[in-house]
Structure 1
């Protein structure tokens, strides 16, 4: 009995440490996307979400992890890509992965008759997964659970590398999600939007892999502070902006 209880709490810790961006990161992606929707897409999405905002549903897929009925979607938040390789189906969880799930959700929302509940859930999942795919540690090496097994100290607080990237560097800015989204959206020139939205989803995986060399550039003592923030927070900013702009492109294609 004690062993089963311990196993439950261990699995809970692993699940809750495996989020992509933290709440504010996902909301930033959602808010930027909302600012770049066509009028028609805004109306259609509002109907599906029953007037809930995109940034406020962006964390729904993390919230439902507490509901065992959605256990099937656990692995849809991430995937494994080895350095120098493209997407390899045999490396992925048999229940699915973020890349294939995103492609399926887009196809279903565009071309399949769905119940209202299914439309709503698919949309909420799509919004979230686009964000996850722009967090470099969600396109993992397959060796350390996306940095969850890499213990570090962030400004003298013991944590892990995944948590530093999904939450702590963003929280350290002491900005609301709307403030950070507005700051990043100032960089969204027409040329940048066009370039970001033209990139195929497969290229997002290549981008994430290319960023891992910065993510894992850790000092020997694993103590991260100002220098690591200085080098890596601009990467987070770029990825949040790219995620929001690309999410808008996908939503405009489906609902516009």
Structure 2
């Protein structure tokens, strides 16, 4: 018997959500023998052709003979931010040119003739750090958007739309039973996959959009913290429809296309 924390507390909500999620997974495991189990939250919408696209991505995964735990069909781009190491490196690179310019230009005759030291002293310390700052503030997704397809991502949040592999889910469930009571279940999934050395994947662009705003676990979430996908909104409707027709014919043959 599992005793939850006092009703209404943050811990109780986290535990209840985690137990509900693992119960749903176990119900799917105990009914049927489909090789994949997809779990969706009830506040999402799907792109055209998401089924065919998901089947294609799963086929790509199996072709790689991957030992994987899950593939997320929804990923908020803000979870693709710069790593702390990248931020530190960028900060160093924004300061280093100013120091080098101040030290080297006055001492090297050729540079002193070609470059006005006074200009360098003012321009480099301002322009270079500002450029680096603008790049960091723009966000990693804006500067280096991921290419369409599968991307391995062991970290990342959110469980709005996940496809699990039945082969490895049997390994995951015992671990989830032990971890969902002391952390949000998206973190429990991440930690269990990590401990079992299972790869995690995301689909790009997202095939699912999250419409929910309020969170049971975090009811005070502001609009700035809304969880949604930019890549889903950026998809071209006509291109998606053409891709859907191509994939349906490729997977199911001409009989799968409605006239």
When the two structures are superposed, what TM-score results if normalisation uses the length of structure 2? 0.23
Between Structure 1 and Structure 2, the one with more helix by share is 1
TM-score (norm 1): 0.23
Higher strand share: 2
